[in-house]
Amino acid sequence: MAACAATVLQGCALVPDVPPDPALPIKEILAQTACELQQTFISLSRSPTLQRFQAEQWLVNVSIAPKVDTDLNGSAGWTRKHPFLGNPSRFTTWAISGPGLQLDAKAERSSSVTFNIKSADLMRDKVLQCPPNIPSLHVLAQHLGVEAWLRRTAEAMTIADSANIDKPTYNTDITIKFAANGSYTFTFPPGTDLATFGGSYILDEQLSISMAPIPRKISIVTLPVGQNFRGETVTSAQEQAAQSRLDLIQLEQAIRNIQSRP
């Protein structure tokens, strides 16, 4: 009986596939996100009062992380009259683990992708085709409200010259769950057969926008022999520092998501 149950479990434990394009249109989601960010950076760069935001000095990570969970469960049991008992109305129930023989198979598949975008390059991008203002079927490809969020954040800097923006992030998480359950009961004179079955399909899609400032170019002066001074600009380590900062931000978010889940 145990070997039979293990064989059935192996057959039912099907690993789900990554959501297809209709359920997760990556191109539409990235296009909508990039267009909102482009409009936001251009608008902030043109505002005389929000120049401290430095719209051209940001490195942006756009992460899309879908996860699919499936759960299949079933149980079975039966009752029969015991042939050795004198009372014919007494039944014996044959069951294993609770209401009957129970099977439970769960599977999970997750994936993620991160797109790096420099705000200066995004502001000058001529290839990006912003979609028309037509409601999309997918919520992550609709208006996200990034512009209002960044503008309010930039305006908050004007209350004090010493206030600087640190680790701005913008997360959207949607969960779609499909569940079904059923039962079967068949009664006949010798006894009753019982069976229940059910399953669930949970699709969790996360869109995360993280930003880190790119340090300004640092001009260094060497000390040559004589009176000729030469200035050089260091640029190689600037984007690496911003990318390292974003990696830490994403790690913090992943830890928070793990702690918040039951």
What pLDDT sits at residue 35?
Answer: 92
| Domain-located, residue 248 | no
Q: Which distant-in-sequence residues (6+ apart) come within 8 Å of 21 by Cβ?
A: none
| Residue given tokens 């790096």 in the structure block | 116
Q: What is the pLDDT of residue 34?
A: 92
Question: How wide is the angle at C-alpha 238 spanned by C-alphas 35 and 158, nearest 5°?
Answer: 60
Please enumerate in sequence order all residues whose Cβ is within 8 A of that of 103, keeping only pairs 6 or more positions apart, or say none: 5, 8, 9, 12, 72, 73, 74, 75
Higher pLDDT: 74 or 246? It is 74
Provide the pLDDT confidence category of residue 85 given band limits of 50, 70 and 90. Answer: low
Least confident range from 123-137, 191-205, 232-246: namely 232-246
Inter-residue contact 200 to 178 (CB < 8 Å): yes
Q: What's the confidence (pLDDT) of residue 9? A: 44
Q: Is residue 235, in this structure, part of any structural domain at all?
A: no
Q: Which two tokens stand for residue 135?
A: 């409601």
Q: What are phi and psi of 223, to 5 degrees?
A: -110, 90
Whether 252 maps to a domain, the answer reads no
The highest-confidence range among 71-75, 90-94, 217-221, by mean pLDDT, is: 71-75
Q: Which two tokens stand for residue 46?
A: 């043109």
Report d(CA 94, CA 77) in Å as an integer.
6
> pTM score > 0.85 for this model?
no
Q: Which amino acid is at 147?
A: E
Predicted local distance difference test score (pLDDT) of residue 169: 82
pLDDT tens by residue, 3-52? 444 444 444 456 788 888 888 889 999 999 999 999 999 999 999 988 88
Instruction: Find which of 174-183, 200-209, 216-225, 251-260 is predicted with most confidence, using mean pLDDT.
Output: 200-209
Tokens at residue 196, please? 């229940």
* Residue 232 belongs to some domain of the structure: no
Question: How far from the centroid of its chain's Cα atoms is residue 165's Cα?
Answer: 24
Per-residue b or e along 227-261, where b marks 16 or more CB atoms closer than 10 Å to that residue's CB = eeeeeeeeeeebeeebeebbeebbeebeeeeeeee
Q: What is the C-alpha to C-alpha distance for residues 70 and 117, in angstroms, rounded to an integer?
A: 34
Do the domain assignments include residue 21? yes
The set of residues, in sequence order, having a beta carbon less than 8 Å from that of 234 and lying 6+ positions away, is 217, 218, 220
- Span 147-188, pLDDT tens digits: 888 889 889 988 888 888 877 888 888 888 878 777 777 766
Interval 92-147: pLDDT, tens = 555 444 455 566 778 888 888 889 999 999 999 989 888 666 667 788 888 888 88
Q: Which two three-digit tokens encode residue 243?
A: 């990318």
Q: What is the DSSP letter of 89?
A: T
Residue 42 lies in a domain: yes
Total structural domains within the chain: 1
Between 233 and 71, whose confidence is greater?
A: 71
Q: pLDDT at position 6, please?
A: 44
Residue 6 domain flag: yes
Give the per-residue pLDDT at 41. 93
Is 227 among the domain residues? no
As a whole number of angstroms, the distance between CA 80 and CA 193 comes to 9
Cα angle for residues 56, 58, 60 (degrees, 5° grid): 130
Residue 200 structural domain: 2-215
